[in-house]
Amino acid sequence: MTTTTLPKELESQSVIRFPDCDPFNHLNNARYIDYIINAREDQLMSYYDFDVYKLAREQGLSWVVAQTQIAYLAPAELMEIVTIQTRLTGFTDKALMVEAVMWNEAKTQIKAVMWTRLVHYNLRTRSGHKHSHELTQFFESVVTPLPAPVSFEERVKSLR
């Protein structure tokens, strides 16, 4: 697959499991983030054959979460299948901005919206690191900027 044909919006499904739920059988708020991050990692492998752990092992490079904003719009319930869509909405020489939307299985109800800013990080020097030319080219081929600059709250409102 050439970089010009790579999909820009990635999607996968997850089942909400018992240990991740609160006493009301709703997904615990902190676990939404875990489900979304796990989905994004799996999607990068499935859609792009991009293994963040291989990059860390071989080159000592990874990304660390610098900021997360999340809106909880409807509960994800025990044993429910959720659809998680993610996309790269922007990048700089040292950071990535990712948007994720968790839906019900049929994508008729949004459960949560999350924005995450990740900083490229050198695990060996323990400092921020510039993206390589190859990574920058890859990001350019898959980035999907938002239609217009908006705040997180405005974006959530527009998705509802």
Whose structure tokens read 């994800």? Answer: 76
Token pair for residue 46? 């499935």
Tell me whether residue 1 is in a domain. Answer: no
Cβ–Cβ contacts within 10 Å for residue 16, how many?
22
Query: Per-residue pLDDT tens for 104-154?
Result: 999 999 999 999 999 999 999 999 999 999 999 999 999 999 989 999 999
As for how many domains the chain has, the answer is 1
Show the domain range for 92: 8-159
Q: Which CATH number covers residue 132?
A: 3.10.129.10
Contacts of 26 (CB under 8 A, 6+ apart): 75, 76, 77, 78
- At 96, give phi and psi (nearest 5°): -125, 145
Query: How many Cα atoms are found within 13 Å in the side-chain-facing hemisphere of 21?
Result: 14
Please tell me the pTM assigned to this model: 0.93
Query: Per-residue pLDDT tens for 37-71?
Result: 999 999 999 999 999 999 999 999 999 999 999 99
Tell me whether residue 48 is in a domain. Answer: yes
pLDDT at 20 over 50: yes
Q: By C-alpha distance, which of 78, 64, 70 is closest to 32?
A: 70
pLDDT at 73 over 80: yes
Tell me whether residue 3 is in a domain. Answer: no
